[in-house]
Amino acid sequence: MHPRFLALLAVLLVSAALLGFPARAQDSLYTVPGVHVDAGAASSSEALNAAIMQGRGKAFQILYRRLTRQADWARQPALDANGLLRISRGYTIANERRSTTRYVADVTYMFNPDAVARLLRAANIAYSQSPARRILLIPMSPGVAPGPWANALMSPAFHDSLVPFTVMAAEDDAALAALNFDAATWNDVAAVAVKNHVAEVGLVQAVYAGGKITVNIKRLGAGEAPARSSLDVPLLQTVGTTYPAAALAAVRAIEDLWKIRTALDFSQRGRLTADVRIASLQQWGDIQTQLSGVSNITGVTVTAMDINYARISIAYVGGLDQLRATLAGAGLVLTGRGQGQWMLAGTK
């Protein structure tokens, strides 16, 4: 048998083995830890059941807000006890205390990703399916400097954020002392981003004026246009005592900046054809594996193949910009060649 044919057959076998869609959402995203419950009833078992049911509703609200944009929080589906059970996978208990009529504990609730997805799709609510990449926050007030504003952004209250972030360390202040919020580009922060092993940076600037704190947020990413937002927080006695509320508002705004790009509207669907250059079977296998982890891809079909390239048809949900963003998160770059033609390549 001709060597070129054997090589091509091997590539096709790798394709058949690795093309499996859709990828399962990460379970950690659908786990809500540390929900405090406290309920009383006529007996210990009834108090336990009441507490677990009470906490499940709280946990679903936390999950719903984790997955959806603030603009959709008022649209949260109203679920009774049976409805909550249908989307649940289980729970674990810690710090349990009970009496004959009272039950107190901290409960971690696990939800079923597929059941939650069906619920939100039926309600036509856009939602994010996978965790964001870690980003670096650079506190500014109005310039880069350590202090109360940076400390407020480091609060443990934000550890459960959908967008995991690291606040810039004090030793990096000197390198960014001249950073200007309005003029800043990725090139200005690339070195500190590499040091912190992140591909995105958020400038978070707090400015006091006129009885309020204005928080300006600027998201910077390699090869991406900056995204900006701004919000006002009324003064609570002093600037220092207002910082925690301003930090909470800032983190919620950062989450929304990310969700705008990633929250999928499942009523919107598309398909495109992309060419992939094949340098080796290993490289092709890596690309297939990366594609299988992209949450908004619903199917991939190999439509043509030769020794040096493959042409694939990608079916996806949501918008094209969202597809490119989630591909980038998986280490893949989708580049337009004009007239509806696309190239897909790994970043390595």
The pLDDT assigned to 127 comes to 84
Least confident of 21-25, 181-185, 201-205, 336-340: 21-25
- Rounded to the nearest integer, the mean pLDDT of the chain is 84
Q: What is the pLDDT of residues 1-12, one digit of tens each?
A: 444 444 444 444
Note whether 116 and 41 are within 8 A (CB): no
Confidence of residue 321 (pLDDT cuts 50, 70, 90): confident
> What does the pLDDT average to over 133-146?
86
Bridge partners, residue 42, by sequence: none
Confidence of residue 288 (pLDDT cuts 50, 70, 90): confident
The pLDDT assigned to 342 comes to 92
This prediction has a pTM of 0.61
Confidence of residue 132 (pLDDT cuts 50, 70, 90): low
Note whether 190 and 197 are within 8 A (CB): no
String of b and e for 284-296 (b: at least 16 CB within 10 Å)? Answer: bebbbebbbbbbb
Q: What is the DSSP letter of 239?
A: H
The pLDDT assigned to 15 comes to 44
Residue type, 298: T
Least confident of 83-87, 138-142, 212-216, 226-230: 226-230
> Residues of the chain with pLDDT > 70: what percent?
88
| 100 or 324, higher pLDDT | 100
| 133 or 203, higher pLDDT | 203
Please report, for residues 193, 207, 222, 259, 263, the alpha-carbon distance to residue 161 in angstroms, rounded to integers and kept in the order given.
Answer: 20, 24, 23, 12, 15
Calpha distance 199→191 (Å, rounded): 11
Q: Does residue 142 have a cis peptide bond before it, meaning omega lies within 30 degrees of 0?
A: yes
The pLDDT assigned to 160 comes to 65
| C-alpha triplet 109, 114, 118: angle, nearest 5° | 110
Q: What is the pLDDT of residues 30-70, one digit of tens each?
A: 999 999 999 999 999 999 999 999 999 999 999 998 888 88
Calpha distance 309→1 (Å, rounded): 21
Q: What is the pLDDT of residues 222-263, one digit of tens each?
A: 777 788 889 999 998 898 889 999 999 998 888 877 776 666
